[in-house]
Amino acid sequence: MDKKGFDYTAERLIDDKPERLPNDALFPPVARSSLRLSHYDETGQAHMVDVSAKVKTRREAVASAFVELSDAVVAALPRNPKGNPLEVARFAGIQAAKQTSTLIPMCHPLALSFVDVRAQVVEGGVAIEATAATVDGTGVEMEAMVAASIAALTVYDMTKALDKGIRIREVVLLSKSGGKSGDYRRE
């Protein structure tokens, strides 16, 4: 148990007894079995999940992020002395998707068959959408989310000289397809 009363042992994570978690406002009462995390072994140690027995299928995920910019920063985007922030962000997101397993310890290195990142100026800032696809035994949600996150951070980096109050918001998974868990679409 840690200092805040969280118990991360495997027994705690897979036990079927209902329990209130330390912060009931954030975590309503649920059966412990619904809290099972696949990246923990029977002793509670974090580990990489063995996906070698999983069927290789086409898997795709789409994630998004939003970079909130002032009107002045949006107006200055085309005149950025560092270059086109949207194009640099697009390349950064693509590169980041390919590096996901080096950034997130339990992610599997995947042979990505497709990565696309789009950054578009919209009212209030820049909307980013990242798509990742593979034919493999595990999903590409993290690759899509890392791509969207890094693209958003790159827009920040390219524009921070104009405004330190830029906010990155709403990094979310929009959809996924393929794999055992099936399709998901954010509503």
- pLDDT value for 80: 82
pTM, full prediction = 0.75
Distance (Å, whole) CA 16 – CA 133: 35
Contact between residue 162 and residue 85 where contact means Cβ atoms under 8 Å apart: no
| Domains and their CATH numbers in the chain | 1-47 (no CATH), 57-185 (3.30.70.640)
Distance (Å, whole) CA 130 – CA 24: 34
Instruction: Check 24, 71, 157, 183 and give the catalytic one.
Output: 157
- pLDDT value for 47: 63
Counting DSSP H helices and E strands in the chain, the numbers are 5, 7
Low-confidence ranges of the chain (pLDDT < 70): 1-45, 47-54
- pLDDT value for 15: 44
116 is catalytic: no
Residues 91-127: tens digit of each pLDDT: 999 999 999 999 988 888 999 999 999 999 999 999 9
Largest CA distance in the chain: 60
Contact between residue 18 and residue 29 where contact means Cβ atoms under 8 Å apart: yes
